Chain A
C-alpha cells in the first residue's frame, strides 16, 4: 500500500502499522498538519525485518520511522532491536505509536533511543495533533 503526497519538501516517513484504520487516521493527521511526505507503510514485523535485510545500496533511508509495537509475526520490539542493529538505520529517528499507555510497554523500549513515545489517543482531535508532533520532530532533525 503505497501513496505519496505532492508537496515540497518531500519527507520520507516509514510507517509500520498493521491496523488499516489507524493508517487512515495517521494519514489524515499528517494531512491536517500539512506535512508533505512520502509515506511508506509496512503491515507487519516480517516485512519490516525484510526491509532491514536489503543490501545497503538499495532503497532510500527514511527520515523517520513510526512504529506500532503490537504487530503480527514479529512485534515492534523485535523490529526496533533489529533496526538498531542494522548500521544504516542506527541513527534513523524512531517514534513509537502505541495503543498502550502502560509504563510496562514504555519500559521495554527505553534502551533503544526512541525519539518520541506517542499513545494513540482515543479522541479524534487529539489523534490529529500527532501530525504536528511529528512535523516538529522532523523539523528538529533537519
Chain B
C-alpha cells in the first residue's frame, strides 16, 4: 500500500481537484466555525457577566429593604423571583458579616449557596459562575448578594453553534462536492483527453492521432504544443520508416544477391575455388570439392597446393595457374591421385587498394566433353564415309553462303575434293552465274522452308548441267536457321533421256494417228471393196448361169465342168465378200440405236436362221436363261450365229450337242458355248480368230471370217473371247462382256431348260 502522499499523488486529477476543493472548503468552514464558537463563547461570557451583574444589582437593590429590616422572608421572595432565570442555580443574601440572610435554591435544597466571595464581581469557577454584588444602603455596605449560575447555557450555545457549524459544513461540503464535480471537468477533462490521446499514441504508435483542443487557455496551448510535437514525431517517424524500409530493401537485395551468387556457385557445373593471398582455400563449391575428392569442411583454410595439383596432360609438368584465359590439356590431380581432364582459368582477387587479396580458380570437368567430341568425330567420320560411298551428292552450307561440308560425291561431281571445297564461299566453287540461278531457292530455304527445284546451271568445272536439288534448312540447338543441307542430283542425262522419250512419244503419237487413220481408211476400203465387188461378181455368176443354159444340152465334159468351176468360184467369192462386209461393218456405225438386247431373243433368231443346218445335223442345243445386255442386236446375232454355226459345222461323228451358259462374275458376264465336235488343237487356239484363218480344207466349207467377226463384236463391247479345246474332245468358246454396262439386267445362275431343236 502506497503511503498517503503517494496515494494522493496517484489519484486522478479530477479526484485530486475534488479532494483539494473539499479540503479547502471544509478547512475554511471548520476554522471559521470554531472561531465563531470561541468568540461567541467569550462574548456570551462577557455578556453574561454584565447581565448577571445587572441582575445582581437589581436583586441587591430590591433586597436592601428586606435586609435592613431584617425581613428574611421578603428577601426570600425577592430571591425566589430569580426562578424565572432557569440557569440560576442558587442565590443567597449574606449579611455583612457573612452570615446567610436569605437564600434561594433552584431545586429547593438549602446549603447550595457558594461561599462568599471576597470581592464583588464575576468569577468563573469550573462550570459555574459566581456573581457577588454588594448590598448597599446609604453608601454603606450591609450585605452581599451571591448568585450561582450554571454555565449550561454556554454549553448549549456551544453545542448549538457546533451543530450549526456541522450542518453548514455538511451542506457546503455537499455543495462544494457537486460544484467541484462539475467544475473539475473544465480542468480535468482536457487533461484526461490529452492523457488518453497520449496513451493512444503510445499504444498504437500512430502519430497521426491529434488531441482535441477545447479552449484557448494554458491547456489549449498545451494541446497545440502536444499536437505540433506529434506532427514532428510523425514526420520523423515517417522518415525513419522510409529509411528503415530502404535499409531493409537494400538488405534483402544484398541477401538475394548473396543467395543468387551462392546458389550459382553451388549449382554451376564448373568447380570454383577462391583462395586468400597465402593460397589458402576460402571457398570451394560442391563441384570443386568433388573434383578434389574432399568435403567442404575439409578444404576451408587449407593450402590449395595440398589439396590438388594441375599438370600438363602430355608432359605431366606442373601447370602454373594462368591469369585469365582457359588453359588446355590440363589434368587436375586430387590428393589421392585421381585425375580429371579440366579446362582451367584463374583470376586474382584485388582489394579496393588494388592489392592482390586472393585468387579465384575455375575448373571444368571436360571428361564428358572429351567423350562427346570423340563420338562426334566418329559420327562425322562415319557420315563422311556413308556419304562418300553413297550416291547422293550432299552439301551443308551456312547462312553466309559458304560450304560447311560436302560429300565426296558432290566434290567429285565438281571435279574437286571435299577437303578443298569445305569452308569456301559457294561463289568460288560454282561461279557467280550459277549462284545467281539458285539464289532465290537459297533465300527460301533460309526462311525455314523445304525447297525442291530443278535448274540448269553453268558450272566452271563441268559446264552446263541440269540439276535437281532438295534444300532442307539446318538449325542450331536454339532453333535458329544456320544454313541448309542440300541433296543435289545431276539430272542432265535424265533430262536428255526424258526429252528423247518425249520426242519418241510424240513420234509414236503421230504414227499412231496415221496408223489409226490408215486403219480407218483400210476399214472403209474393205467395206467399199467388199460392197462394190459384189456387184460385178453377181454379174459373173448370173451370166455364167445364163451361158450354161444357153449352151447346147449336149455340151458335156470339160466345158461344163469349167463352167461349173467358174460358178463355184464366184459363189465362194461371194460368201467371202459377204463375210468381209459383215466384218468391216462391225467397226462402223451401227444402223440401230444402242439399246437393251435380250440375248434369249437373239438366240431364237439365230436358231431360226440355222434351222436347216440344225435339222440336217440333228443337233441339240440347250441354253441357260440369258441376260439382257446393252448393245446392238445385229452384233449379237452375228456372234451367236457364228459360234453355234461353227459348233454344228465342225461336228464329230455324233450328233452335235451344244450347251450355252452364262455366269455373272464380279466385273463381267462370262458366256460359254460348248460343243462335242472335233475340237481344236491347242496349237491353233490363238490363230483361229484371225481373218481368213481356216484349219480345214474345202471338205468343210467356210470363209475363215466367222471367228474374226465374233472377236470383233466382243472386243467392240470391251470383252474378250477365247477357246478351250483339244483335238477330238469338243470345244468351248468363252467370251465376256463387262458387267458395269449390263448391270441389273437380271443375270442369274439359275438353270433353265433348253431352247432350240
Contacts and interface: CB of A to CB of B under 8 A. Distances in A.
B237 interface: no
Most chain B beta-carbon neighbours within 10 Å: one of A100, A107, A122, A124: A122
A21 B541 CA distance: 12
A99 B578 CA distance: 12
A121 B537 CA distance: 11
Contacts of A102: 531, 581, 585
Contacts of B553: none
A104 B534 contact: no
B740 interface: no
Contacts of B545: 123-125
B97 interface: no
Contacts of B570: 122
B542 A124 contact: yes
A107 B591 contact: yes
Given A21-B539, A25-B542, A104-B585, A122 B574 contact: yes
Contact of B538 (A103, A107, A122): A122
Given A124-B545, A124-B546, A106 B591 contact: yes
B535 interface: yes
Contacts of A104: 585, 588, 591
Size class of the B contact interface (CB-based, 8 Å): 20 to 34
B592 A122 contact: no
A132 interface: no
A127 B591 contact: no
A74 interface: no
B571 interface: yes
A123 B591 contact: no
A122 B541 contact: yes
Interface string B570-586: 11001000100100010
A120 interface: yes
A117 to B, nearest CB: 13
Given A122-B537, A122-B574, A103 B591 contact: yes
B370 to A, nearest CB: 95
Given A99-B535, A102-B531, A21 B585 contact: no
Interface in A67-121: 70, 99-104, 106-107, 120-121
Contact of A99 (B538, B543, B585, B634): B538
Chain A interface size band reads 10 to 19
Given A21-B543, A99-B535, A103-B591, A122 B571 contact: yes
B534 A99 contact: yes
Contacts of A99: 534-535, 538
Contacts of B541: 122-124
A123 B574 CA distance: 11
A120 B541 CA distance: 12
A106 B545 CA distance: 28
B659 to A, nearest CB: 30
Contacts of B539: 21
A100 B634 contact: no
The interface centre, meaning the residue of B534, B538, B539, B588 with most chain A CB atoms within 10 A of its CB, is B538
A38 B571 CA distance: 34
Contacts of A121: 538
Given A102-B585, A104-B591, A122 B542 contact: yes
Contacts of B535: 19, 70, 99
Contact of A100 (B534, B571, B588): B534
Nearest to A108: B591
A32 to B, nearest CB: 12
Interface in B302-316: none
Interface in A1-30: 19, 21, 25
Contacts of A124: 541-542, 545-546, 549
Contacts of A125: 545
A124 B545 CA distance: 6
Contacts of B549: 124
A25 B542 CA distance: 9
Contacts of B585: 102, 104
9 contacts: A25-B542, A70-B535, A99-B534, A103-B592, A104-B588, A104-B591, A106-B591, A107-B591, A122-B570
Given A102-B581, A122-B534, 10 more contacts: A19-B535, A25-B542, A99-B534, A99-B538, A101-B578, A103-B592, A121-B538, A122-B538, A122-B574, A124-B546
The 9 A-B residue pairs with the shortest CB-CB distance, nearest first, are: A124-B545, A107-B591, A122-B538, A122-B541, A103-B591, A99-B535, A124-B542, A104-B591, A122-B574
